[in-house]
Amino acid sequence: MRSVVLLLLLLASTSSLATPRVYLVPLRAPNVDRATTDLLAEQLLVSARRHQQQFEVVGAGDVKAILDVEAAKAAIGCDTESCANEIADALDADQLLAGQVGRIGDVWLLTLTRTDKATMQVLSRASIEAHAESPAALLPHIPELVDQALGVVRPVNVWAWTGGAAVGVGALSAASAGVLYWLSFTQFDAAYAALTAAQPDVSAAHQAEDASQALYTGALITGISGGALVVIGGATAAVALAIEE
């Protein structure tokens, strides 16, 4: 293990001290096949590195890149607490991020624990679960899990919110168009009643007819505008959310 530590000092010496260095401990998954474990671990690393402005994340692959074959095997297979601490010391890591996969019945559980290296105090703990036959069902939820474990709050997706607001306004406009359409028919009925009364009131009939026409035009414009807002807003929100993912 001493050779591993000495070689890791080389990696530590190249680190930038501007952000906390987090060592992603090899994932513990005793009841999961190697291929799936590697896939989950890779997704954890990729998700953690989305926050490279806040954290410098070092994974087993980074360790492997600078070690010889035997030392790499020792480091990558090292998932015990004492071994992880020794590697973290050599890497000059500020924090440890350790994950474990377990199964209870048909529920797969993935837990991440972030620990301060100096004090060994648990900074955060987060978990996700999936009801499935394979732990691969956990994959889509890993980015959210990592965000929680690192204490990172996702920025507000302005375009998604704008699109959602447009959909809401469009729906209200469509409802308003329905009301205007109904009112236009009431005015049309009033005009008809004025003309067919025992003593026809042509002036009142014309006024009601004009009001009916104005309301109908307003309903048409409002309905088209509302529909356009719903379509454009929905498309904007969908694209914004797709890009975010």
Q: What is the DSSP letter of 97?
A: E
Same domain, 11 and 83: yes
Same domain, 99 and 178: no
Same domain, 84 and 170: no
Please classify residue 52 by burial: count the beta carbons closer than 10 Å to its beta carbon, then call 0-12 exposed, 13-18 middle and 19+ buried: exposed
Same domain, 9 and 100: yes
Three state DSSP letters for 120-141: CCEEEEEEEEEECCCHHHHHHH
Please classify residue 112 by burial: count the beta carbons closer than 10 Å to its beta carbon, then call 0-12 exposed, 13-18 middle and 19+ buried: buried
pLDDT, position 82:
66
Residue by residue, pLDDT tens for the chain (245 residues) are 454 444 444 444 444 456 888 989 889 988 889 899 989 999 999 999 888 888 889 887 776 665 554 455 555 555 566 667 777 776 778 899 999 999 988 899 999 999 998 888 999 999 999 998 888 899 999 998 999 998 876 666 677 788 888 889 989 988 898 898 898 888 888 887 877 877 778 788 788 888 889 988 988 999 899 889 888 988 888 887 776 65
Rounded (10°) CA dihedral 200, 203, 208, 210: 140
Count of structural domains, the chain: 2
118 by DSSP, 3-state: which?
A: coil
109 by DSSP, 3-state: which?
A: strand
CATH (domain of 145) = 3.40.50.10070
Same domain, 146 and 162: no
Same domain, 32 and 112: yes
Same domain, 141 and 217: no
Please state whether beta strands 21-24 and 122-131 pair in parallel, antiparallel, or not at all (unpaired): unpaired
71 by DSSP, 3-state: which?
A: helix
Residue 125's domain comprises: 2-150
Domain stop point among 150, 177, 197: 150
Same domain, 117 and 182: no
Q: 113 - beta bridge partners?
A: 98, 125
Same domain, 34 and 109: yes
Same domain, 52 and 90: yes
Amino acid at the residue 16: S
Same domain, 8 and 101: yes
Domain stop point among 150, 168, 201: 150
33 by DSSP, 3-state: which?
A: coil
Domain stop point among 150, 171, 203: 150
Residues 6+ away with beta carbon under 8 Å from 10: 66
pTM above 0.95, yes or no: no
Same domain, 180 and 128: no
